[in-house]
Structure formats: structure tokens, C-alpha cells
Amino acid sequence: MTGKLMQAVSYDSYGKGAAGLKHVEIPVPTPGKGEMLIKVEAVSINPVDWKMQNGVARPVFPPKFPYVPLTDVAGEVVEVGSGVEKFKVGDKIVTYLGRPGGGLAEYALAKESPAVQRPPEVSAADASCLVVAGCTALHALTVSGGLKLDKSEQLTNVLVTNGSGGVGHYAVQLAKLGNTHVTATCGARNIEFVKSLGADEVLDYKTPEGASLKSPSGLKYDLVIHCTVGIPWSTFKANLTPTGKVIDLTPGGGTIWNYAVNKLTFSKKQLLPLIVVPKGEEIECLVNLMKEGKIKTVIDSRYPLSRAEEGWAKSMEGHATGKVVIECET
């Protein structure tokens, strides 16, 4: 592919949101040692992608300008660099591109790890959504939360805040694979949707009952997967079992402060910040669960690469139900 040009979408400064995205024609990259060139079929958007554009992690992310964003891709291997052993040309894969990004383009470079094979039963769009959102839900529940995704344990009461979003819609479904009672919060328009994912009880976050997080059946929570912002620790604390844990996926200064205070006071109720970097074995676990029909991806909206800025704007509005996906025309 040396010398060939491709369509891509990049930004060259912080801020500006969807208006800062530019359609560009740039050379197709060449895979180096341990890398593969993939023809992108679908790529999904996470809030971290536009938060990075806003400068939340400057100067580390993005590593340079102009930057082709997005990391969660499904595509076909079209070229392999030296040293790649697990994959060959023609393989359909799903992977996380990490800090270099590059997913919002016709072709992208992917490392051998954490890529996994995508079986034909799982569509490219569905698979691309699993990467950050699915791995975060899985990691928060099982590694941070200690939940087993079978029915072998005692009943665990789980709360998922924002059960309608990218992470939360997976968290509700995954939690229900364990022996759990799941309460979730969402907006009124999504109550039936979140119930359809398996939630036993749903609270409208815009009502006083929803804001209080009180379970309608009076249960206290053993584990909270916190997928939104703006809920004080005191509200969680009042609704936790004596050893209940809150896993905060958008940790700010307040989370770090309360985490430290809880440690210093030997509190058995815990608030734990969590940032997840998707691993191959987690992506594979999710792909297998999807292949077996145990979880599904719900796609809010999909856009062709030529209209990527509309998908970007949709994600930035913060009202997607499930995931936002960009698909490359074939």
C-alpha cells in the first residue's frame, strides 16, 4: 500500500468539538514490526475521545497534532509487519489502538496485542463497541467489584448509574449473568429499555427518588458501577451495605479525596477510582459472550466516515442510548 492515499478525519488543536474535525487525505500507514494494517470496518466513539480533544489529558493525549482520533476498531487485516504470528491477511479482528489512535480512517495500524479474532456471528459494528465500553464494564464488575459472572455466589445487590449509556448498558447485562439484583438509573425515556437489558429496578435520575439512589424495594447495594458524574459520596454511602463498594469510572478530585479519607479512617465502605485499558483477554471474553448470545450491543446511531462529525457531536451531547458508531463504506 506504500504511496496510496486514504480518507481520514483528524483535528489539529484542542477544543472546537465536531467543528474541529477535518476530512483529510493522508498516506496509508505502513505496518512496522509487530504491527498490522487493518481496513477499518467500524469504529466506536467513547466520551474520552472528545474529552481528549478538549484537552483533559494535555499534553500526554493526544500525542501529537494533527491527530486521527478513535481507538475501538473492527476491521480486516490487509498487511502484516514482521514478527506478527497470531494473525494473517484476511483475518477479521477487533482491537484497541491505544494512545496513537488512528481509528477514524479507512486504514489503521494495530499491534498484535490486544487484537482478537472477530467471529462472523458478531458484526463489526457490535464488536467495535465492546472495546473500551465493554471492557470497562467487565473489569469494574469482575476485577474491581469481585463479581463472578455465573450464579455460583450469594446474591449481590448491584447499582449501575447511567444504565442507558455505552458502559452502563453492558454493565447491566453483564451483572445479570451473575447472581444479582440489579438496580439502574437512567432518564424516563429509557426506563423500558434498561429493564429490557435485565435490570430488576430502574430509577429515573431526574426525580428526587432517582437522585437519592434509594432502591424502590429498600435494598442496600453491595456494588455500584458509577457511570455518570455529579453524585456526592454521601448519597452513595447512605445506600451501601456495610462493606459496599462504589467503582467510579469518571474520577475527579472529589473521588480521590473521599478515597483517601475512607482509607485513613479504615472505612469498610469504599469509593474506588478506575481507569481501564482494554486487554486482549477481556475483549475476547466479551466477543465470546456476544457470540453465545449472552450480551448484545445496542447502537444509538451509526454514521459513514464522510459524516463522522455528526457522530462526534451526538456523543458529545451525552444523550446516546447505547453506542455511537462510524462505519467505513466498502
Ligand X SMILES: NC(=O)c1ccc[n+]([C@@H]2O[C@H](COP(=O)([O-])OP(=O)(O)OC[C@H]3O[C@@H](n4cnc5c(N)ncnc54)[C@H](OP(=O)(O)O)[C@@H]3O)[C@@H](O)[C@H]2O)c1
Q: Which residues bind ligand X (CB under 6 A)?
A: 46-48, 132-133, 136, 161-162, 164-168, 185-187, 189-190, 205, 227-228, 249-250, 274-276, 315, 318-321
8 Å CB contact between 109 and 37: yes
Residue written as grid cell 448498558: 169
* CB nearer to ligand X: pick between 268 and 319: 319
Shortest distance (Å) from residue 249 CB to ligand X? 4
Residue number closest to ligand X, CB atom:
187
Give the three cell numbers for residue 288: 465470546
61 contacts: CB under 8 Å, gap ≥ 6 = 52, 99
Residue written as grid cell 474520552: 48
Q: Which of 246, 249, 244 is nearest to 274 (CA)?
A: 249
8 Å CB contact between 79 and 88: no
Give the three cell numbers for residue 94: 477487533
- The three-state secondary structure class of 212 is helix
Shortest distance (Å) from residue 269 CB to ligand X? 20
* CB nearer to ligand X: pick between 67 and 205: 205
* CB nearer to ligand X: pick between 173 and 228: 228
Shortest distance (Å) from residue 5 CB to ligand X? 32
Handedness of CA 210, 194, 151, 121 (dihedral sign): negative
Shortest distance (Å) from residue 143 CB to ligand X? 12
Shortest distance (Å) from residue 144 CB to ligand X? 10
* CB nearer to ligand X: pick between 130 and 167: 167
Shortest distance (Å) from residue 330 CB to ligand X? 27
- The Cα 55–Cα 16 span in angstroms is 11
8 Å CB contact between 283 and 94: yes
Q: Phi and psi of 224, rounded to 5°?
A: -120, 125
Question: At residue 129, what is the residue type?
Answer: C
* CB nearer to ligand X: pick between 87 and 205: 205
* CB nearer to ligand X: pick between 252 and 304: 252
